[in-house]
Each structure stands twice: as C-alpha cells, then as structure tokens.
Amino acid sequence: MKFFVLLCSVVSFGLLSSCNIASVATYIGSPDPSQDAVCVLPNVRTVVFVDDRRNVMHPTRLRRIVAEKITDDLLQNDTLVTMVSPRDILRISSTGDRYGEPIPISQLATSVDAENLIYVELTGFSLTSDGHTAKPVANCNVKVINARKRERIFPLVEESFRVQAVVTNIAPSRLVGSGEVRKLSEELAINLGDAVAKLFYSHYTGRLGEDVEKRRH
C-alpha cells in the first residue's frame, strides 16, 4: 500500500513538473506582446509642437522636454526620416505670444518648412492629487495636421486623440525639496512624450512581471 501511494506521488509530481515545463516553454516560445501603431505617419518633413494654452505645465521648459522626447523616439524607431527641432517652432511661437497674437498652427509648421505638424495640447499636468500623496499624471490631446493643405490627417473622426501618462512607485520623499520635484516633473514629461510617440509606431508592451525583474537587476 505504501509503495502504491509513493508511486502515485511520483507520477503526480512528474505530471505537474511536465505541465510547469510546458508552460515555461510556451511562455518563452510565444511572440513578444506588442501594440500596433494607432496612426502610420507619412514620411515627410515633420515637426512636433507642444502647446500649453491652459498653462498647466510648470516650468515651461518641460514643453521642450516632451517635444524632444517625441522627436527623438520617432527618429530612433525609423518612423520618420526628417524632423525639425522642436526648439525652432517653440521659439517662433513664443515670439507671437509675446505680442499677444498666437500664430496659427499651420503657419507655425510652414515657418520651419515642415509639411506635417504633430500638435500636442496639454490638458493636465500634476504631481499630486491632494498636495500630500505623490500621484504624477499628465494628459494631452494629440492630432496631426498637414500644414500645406491645412487639414487634419489624424485622427480622422474625432477632433483629437487623448493620451495619458503616469509615474508609478513614487516615494513620498520625492515631493519634498525642489530638486526632487524637478526630477519628478521631468520624468513625467518624458513619460508623456514616450506615450505620444508610441501612437505612431509598433512597440513592445512587456510581459507580466518583467518590470519587477528588471528593477531587481
């Protein structure tokens, strides 16, 4: 009888082990999770403009960080070949704002000899929801405009496409001290730029537990 129980245990263990091995093999052999581009951009001279008419992002240099992150990601992922530096269009925009006459979007693009413009309108940017708890969240509306034809090419139905970015696993101490607050603000701006750029190219979304393993190393 004891031999029979032992034999059953060995067989059961072997079956369970086989299932675990099969699961691991399936996990390793399965395609990497990915997200297709929401919009495939025409490969023409393009510029990114981050607008903050609601004055939600402080300091204003964070606008440049968002725009440069989008630009760098699109170039590095071979989404576009030619892009204009965001600094150029921000400089022209600030000149118009100085005189109280905002320059039309299409004119901003043509002023830097860009055919298409990725327009990012900031709608929210905060590091905390209650003044005490760290909960960085940024929101924006995105659209792509053909400046020469003065028509929207993305999205085709809605007026704009909403994008949100967050920063997770934040220590409370990061809300204390101007240096930490500055770094956290920049991190949120970079995450927002990353989220916007990923609308335009297929990207790896990661597996469950992967971020934890990466942080351990």
Residue 45 confidence (pLDDT) above 80: yes
Give, in degrees to the nearest 5, the angle at Cα 216 between 210 and 217: 95
Q: Rounded CA gap, 127 and 110, in Å?
A: 35
Which of 86-95, 145-154, 201-210 shows the lowest mean pLDDT across its residues?
Answer: 201-210
Question: What average pLDDT does range 199-211 have in this prediction?
Answer: 72
- pTM passes above 0.75: yes
Note the pLDDT of residue 131: 77
Q: For the segment 51-92, what is each residue's pLDDT rounded down to a tens digit?
A: 999 999 999 999 999 999 999 999 999 999 999 999 999 999
- The C-alpha angle 10, 14, 20, rounded to 5 degrees, equals 145
Question: Domains in the chain, ordered, with CATH?
Answer: 35-199 (3.40.50.10610)
Q: Which residues contact 66 (CB under 8 A, 6 or more apart)?
A: 50, 120, 189, 190, 192, 193, 196
Q: 16-37: string of b/e by CB count within 10 Å (b at 16+)?
A: eeeeeeeeeeeeeeeeeeeeee
On the question of pLDDT at 188 being above 70, the answer is yes
Beta-bridge partner residues of 151: 146
Better-scored residue on pLDDT, 97 or 177:
177
User: Residue 206 — very low, low, confident or very high, per pLDDT cuts 50/70/90?
Assistant: low
pLDDT at 8: 44
Q: Which residue has the higher pLDDT, 6 or 217?
A: 6
